[in-house]
Structure 1
């Protein structure tokens, strides 16, 4: 198996803090952050034991491309991307919600609908939908942003009532979410894909609302292939998709859904390689670029040097 980065543990001269997320290692400086996209993979809000080669590079480079492509629509936090696995940018105060937007009834929304729910995060869903059907209009279904454990569904009304986000700021988050989803959907269509659903995170830097974290990657988004979408829906067959959903389905088939008392199954080498290949496939499909695997002799050392030079 190729080298994969499970974690980093650097100590930089000007560093004032460190945060280890599910997938990212975040080095905190006075007014900036250096974020390392590791090869960790999470599902059901649990970090799985084995890292996936090249996954971090794929996520970082897709996010970089989309952040550049949407910067004229929505301002974002990035100042530089000095390494395939590293992004450096402004240190924002994050909003404690994730803005999930859905154009289709898939994944979590489909599971909730199948269980009989017709209201998701305060949004009413029509009767008679099948899994993966297109929704009448894209809907925003926010979640709380958990430092650890599970993010929870929450409605706009609850967010405002609890004072998690002010009404004025929330209206900006909604506007930005729709703008980004529209642009992401257009870019996906140009590559023969459908952007099914995704999530965005936002923060404030000097009173300006900025888009933070990654966007439109397979960790934060679900894509279907457009060419056979209609035929598969007509026949009631599963959609061919580029997302982490196949990892979730493998885990479910092996008795794990992140519930208490369940043990994470060990992923065999063959499945780890398959996940890596699927991430690379998505990179090439959504960007239209050939994926060039990092060839550093020492990946950790190259990441450390890139941060030192650019922070």
Structure 2
């Protein structure tokens, strides 16, 4: 934990360390910790924090004409300073394809997800006629829970007017992300967004379009693989979950995390760097930084806000 000037609160999440500054700003450090199945794995992944922070910064800048966002600056490769918002208690999940949780729900025989009807006759990874919104509650601990639009409004989690605006923003940001992914030979399959509010104005917050919050497929060969019923080639954190499942771990009680050897850790790091280069179109430059440097750079950036 860093000690920053005018620090009024600190929150340690699964991956992020969030410092509240003077109750007005946030300094978010994206650590190299990695979580899967709601469990933080025992070893950090070198440069993972830098990968996530730099992807998020690029996409926040690329969508600021659609919606204002919380980011002020990125004084460090793995840290962002931004405005503190009152967070909406839901995450807006949008899905363009029947995969992941949506596919597992569909495969079980259900034809509705978060109050959204699912068409008959679909197979895994098929494209929806149009993207569907499947929000979840936002849990600080444990699992987020599926919730419908109607339940969100009925429970007063978000007002009807604000929720309709969140939906519009979600669709517009997803469309922009889809277009940017297509330019890089990728398909943005599904993702989640978080929003906050300052004085009645909605802001996009946290990270967007990173491999931890989104799933990408490679465009090349997609149709052919679908026609043959083959697994899609994808870019996401799914490979980490697959490695854990292959080694008998799904976060259930009594299960032990498999040994994370140097080979496993370095392999995951290499995959994250590959993800960065595909998603951003930029060459990744490793920028290791000490805790002392972090404190100095963040303190300097925060001082400039006053």
Please report the RMSD computed on the Cα atoms of aligned residues, expressed in angstroms: 1.0
Deviation at 1:231, TM superposition (A): 1.0
Counterpart of 2:192 (choices 193, 199, 203) is 199
Counterpart of 2:63 (choices 70, 75, 97) is 70
Counterpart of 1:169 (choices 152, 162, 167) is 162
- Matched with 1:10 is 2
- Matched with 1:248 is 241
Distance 2:110 2:242 in 1: 21
> Do structure 1's residue 303 and structure 2's residue 294 form an aligned pair?
yes
- Matched with 1:56 is 49
Deviation at 1:180, TM superposition (A): 0.4
Distance 1:37 1:175 in 2: 28
Which aligned pairs between 1:117-266 and structure 2 lie closer than 5 A?
Answer: 117-266=110-259
Distance 1:129 1:263 in 2: 35
Contact 1:194/1:224 (CA < 8 Å) preserved in 2?
yes
Unaligned ranges ≥5, structure 2: none
Deviation at 1:291, TM superposition (A): 0.3
Which secondary structure does the structure 1 equivalent of 2:91 belong to?
strand
Cα deviation 1:81-111 (Å, max 9, x = unaligned): 1110110000001111100000001111111
Unaligned ranges ≥5, structure 1: 1-8
Distance 2:245 2:239 in 1: 10
Distance 1:69 1:16 in 2: 31
Counterpart of 2:97 (choices 99, 104, 118) is 104
Distance 1:44 1:122 in 2: 24
Deviation at 1:259, TM superposition (A): 2.3
Contact 1:26/1:33 (CA < 8 Å) preserved in 2?
yes
Deviation at 1:206, TM superposition (A): 2.1
> Do structure 1's residue 47 and structure 2's residue 40 form an aligned pair?
yes
> Do structure 1's residue 38 and structure 2's residue 31 form an aligned pair?
yes
Distance 2:38 2:152 in 1: 21
Counterpart of 1:94 (choices 87, 91, 111) is 87
Cα deviation 1:228-247 (Å, max 9, x = unaligned): 11111111111111101111
Distance 2:88 2:216 in 1: 26
Counterpart of 2:18 (choices 23, 26, 34) is 26
Cα deviation 1:159-191 (Å, max 9, x = unaligned): 111111111110111000000000000000000
Distance 2:274 2:50 in 1: 13
Contact 1:45/1:151 (CA < 8 Å) preserved in 2?
no
Which secondary structure does the structure 2 equivalent of 1:61 belong to?
helix
Deviation at 1:74, TM superposition (A): 1.1
Deviation at 1:254, TM superposition (A): 1.6
Which secondary structure does the structure 1 equivalent of 2:216 belong to?
strand
- Matched with 2:265 is 272
After TM superposition, the runs of 4+ consecutive aligned structure 1 residues lying more than 6 A away are: none
Contact 1:232/1:239 (CA < 8 Å) preserved in 2?
yes
- Matched with 1:6 is none
Q: Kindly tell me the number of residue pairs found equivalent between the two proteins.
A: 301
Distance 1:65 1:256 in 2: 34
